[in-house]
Structure 1
Amino acid sequence: MLNYVSIKNFAKDNDLTVLVGEEYLDNKRIYVSDISRPGLELTGYFDYYPHERIQLFGMTEISFANQLTPDERLNVFTKMCTESTPVFLISRDLTPPKELIEAAEKNKMPVLISKLPTTRLSSVITDYLDYKLAERQSIHGVLVDIYGTGILLTGNSGIGKSETALELVQRGHRLIADDRVDVFQQDEKTIVGEAPSILKHLLEIRGIGIVDVMNLFGVGAVRQSTPISLIVNLENWDPKASYDRLGSADDYQTIFDVDVPKMTIPVKVGRNLSIIIEVAAMNFRAKNLGFDATKVFENQLTELIEQNKQDNQGDVN
């Protein structure tokens, strides 16, 4: 099923004034985030008219339309009012031509108006629609913000994800979602996670039940959403398994079209997971800034080996 945004919600969320078509707001829907500024259409060229997009009129479009004859304007605006065209949007509080209003009323097309400049308005509604229309999926896990880095904790049920998140909150970090994380792709490199509406600010601790993190720890202990920078998979310690000890192994989990870095941390009695994950987040940030402890160790090891070779050669000579 395609995601959509009703024109009613679109107008409300973006502080837009309804100029025409209040009664049509519930029936008209937006399915794409692309926006059209109908320059060619005003000249009468409709071969590739993007009828499914919001039609945005700025100073350029309105001033050009005012140079047409009334019949030409009415003809062009009527052609633009297709059944799948969601809305006419006017920027800068401009006064639209009366023929635009006439065509919109006749074809049951809503007309909205904004005070924002055209470029700014285009940017705002594109970001809004990208968020609202993005494909989403749910991942079982806990999402926390550690020093501004979004960490997704995954692992089998009962491994201790929620308890670890609670301790991280006590250490001053922020909870985004517990148990189920809704994720969507923001752009080519970014996956964003958020909590489902029913689970916002809530954390389930076995033996205690549901706790409201915001009420217990304050608004600074929660966050609505965050880009997911690192996935930390918790698994029970297996003495026969081989775990990465140097941090040189590169592992990823693909979410939509984005490869998100992933590491596995074994869970064992006596290990303080919250501190380990906190350090993992700090180390991940350091790597992104160009400070890689693993490479430092490898370089120092290489230098030591070379020095030993030189010393051995000197002894032979």
Structure 2
Amino acid sequence: MVKVRTQDLLDQFKLELVAGKDGVHREIFTSDISRPGIEMTGYFKYYPKDRLQLLGKTELSYYHDLTTTERKDRAVNLCTDITPGIVITRGMDIPEELIEACNQSGVPLMRSPYKTTRVVSRLTNYLEAKFAPFTAMHGVLVDIYGVGVLITGQSGVGKSETALELVKRGHRLVADDSVEIRQEDYDRLIGNAPPLIEHLLEIRGLGIINVMTLFGAGSVRSFKRITLIINLEAWDQKKQYDRLGLEEETMKIIDVDIPKVIVPVRPGRNLAVIIEVAAMNFRLKRMGVNAAEEFSERLTTMIEKEKSSLDSEFD
């Protein structure tokens, strides 16, 4: 489980720490951000105190209209023992009552010079990425013409060698051997390499090579969305493989179904070219061009014409 602390926000977004420095190591447990508008009226029954609190122009304007006693009461109630922090936007002046309450309770009080909507968006995106469901898979992830292709298969089937040939053909390596995958949205999987093996490729007989050093910075990527899975398997003479491409298989990773293609491996087959073409064909399908369906429609039309001519002869 990834741990996110308030100090991480200070480092990532260059926020100004105004008060509550004793609590910068408080842990954040959710990506949800609260804008305590109703709480400013004094209603704290459903106050989500475990969330990061964000005060914009609306909240602070209302706060300034309160009496001194009411301001102190709201500030004390906002600052609980589990509140990870309070963020003030637009670089606005912060009331002394809030600064005092944060120092006493140890709740970090931070300030950002940017607009409220921008701060909410950036903080939410950052926290959702950190708290996204996570898994790891054995395989190779390559960016081919903008398509994130995850190459899977048994150990020794030739995944890394194929990835090397794809890099030589101008495509970009994301991860080899182990791919860390996180689900950033309901239908979006992002893959990256573990820091230990980033930009490295293992080739049996050669050992470990640094792809970025050999082929340049344009040959690697830090992360890529996974949109296609190609599974390499040893050729089985008894197995019937799809020859038209009408069958569409999927593979479920976390909660997302990803299109999957099975490519049999045997001597003489250029796997790099096949995978490259599979990626291009996948792009065409997303653009509405499906060669297999076009062939099926042509075949159906031809059969119907032949049938009609035969019927007319017998008539």
TM-score if structure 1 supplies the norm length?
A: 0.97
Structure-2 residue corresponding to 1:234: 232
Match of 1:124 among 122, 125, 128: 122
1:183 is matched with which residue?
181
- Specify which of 272, 278, 281 is matched with residue 279 of structure 2: 281
Q: Is the 8 A contact 2:20 2:104 kept in 1?
A: no
In structure 1, list runs of 5 or more residues that go unmatched.
none
The 8 Å contact of residues 3 and 135 in structure 1, kept in 2 or not, is answered as: no
Shift of 1:314: 2.3
CA contact (8 A) 2:141 2:150 kept: yes
**For each residue in 1:14-44, what CA deviation from the matched residue of structure 2 results, as whole angstroms up to 9, or x when unmatched?**
1211111334312x11111110000001011
Partner of 2:8: 9
**Is residue 3–residue 31 contact of structure 1 (8 Å, CA) maintained in 2?**
no
Amino acid at match of 2:246: S
- The residue type equivalent to 1:169 in the other structure is V
For structure 2, the 5+ residue unaligned runs are none
CA contact (8 A) 1:190 1:258 kept: yes
Deviations 1:179-222 (A, max 9, x none): 00000111111111111111111111111111111111111111
1:297 Cα deviation after fit: 0.5
4+ runs deviating over 2 angstroms: 21-24
Name the residue aligned to 1:313.
Answer: 311
How far apart are residue 263 of structure 1 and its match? Answer: 1.1
- 1:48 Cα deviation (Å)? 1.1
Do 1:229 and 1:260's aligned partners in 2 also have CA atoms closer than 8 Å?
yes
Pair 1:293 & 2:291 matched: yes
Q: Which of residues 191, 198, 221 is equivalent to 2:219?
A: 221
Question: 1:202, 1:15 → 2: CA distance?
Answer: 32
Letter in 1 for 2:285: K
What's the counterpart of residue 157 of structure 1?
155
Letter in 2 for 1:15: K
1:223-255, Cα deviation, whole Å (9 max, x unpaired) = 111111011100000010111111111211111
* Residue matched to 1:209: 207
| CA displacement 1:243-279 (0-9 Å, x = unmatched) | 1111111211111111111111000100000000000
Give SS of 2:65's match. coil
Amino acid at match of 2:56: G
Equivalent residues, number: 315
Deviation at 1:132, TM superposition (A): 1.3
Percent identity of paired positions between Structure 1 and Structure 2: 49
| Contact 2:141/2:148, CA 8 A, preserved across alignment | yes
Query: Could you tell me how far apart the structure 2 residues matched to 1:85 and 1:164 are?
Result: 50
Per-residue Cα deviation, 1:94-125 (whole angstroms, up to 9, x for no partner): 11111110110010110111111000110011
Partner of residue 59, structure 1: 57
Amino acid at match of 1:10: L
Letter of the structure 2 residue corresponding to residue 130 of structure 1: E
Partner secondary structure for residue 198 of structure 1: helix
CA contact 1:56–1:88 (8 Å) conserved in 2: yes
1:115 and 2:113 aligned? yes
* 3-state SS, counterpart of residue 247 of structure 1: coil
1:249 partnered with 2:242:
no
Question: Do the aligned partners of 1:165 and 1:274 also contact (CA within 8 Å) in 2?
Answer: yes
2:266 to 268, 272, 289: 268
Residue 227 of structure 2 aligns to a residue in which SS? strand
Secondary structure of residue in 2 paired with 1:245: coil
Letter in 2 for 1:16: L
Question: Offset at 1:11?
Answer: 1.0
The correspondence for 1:87, drawn from 85, 88, 96, is: 85
2:162 match: secondary structure? helix
Instruction: Report SS of the residue matched to 1:151.
Output: strand
Specify the SS of the correspondent of 1:186.
strand
Whichever residue aligns with residue 33 of structure 2, its letter is I
1:94 alignment partner AA = M
Instruction: Kindly indicate whether the alpha-carbon contact (under 8 Å) linking 2:21 and 2:106 is maintained by their aligned counterparts in 1.
Output: no
| Residue-by-residue CA offset, 1:66-112 (whole Å, 9 max, x unaligned) | 00111111111111111211000011111111111011001011011
What does 1:69-108 align with in structure 2 at a 5 Å threshold? 69-108=67-106
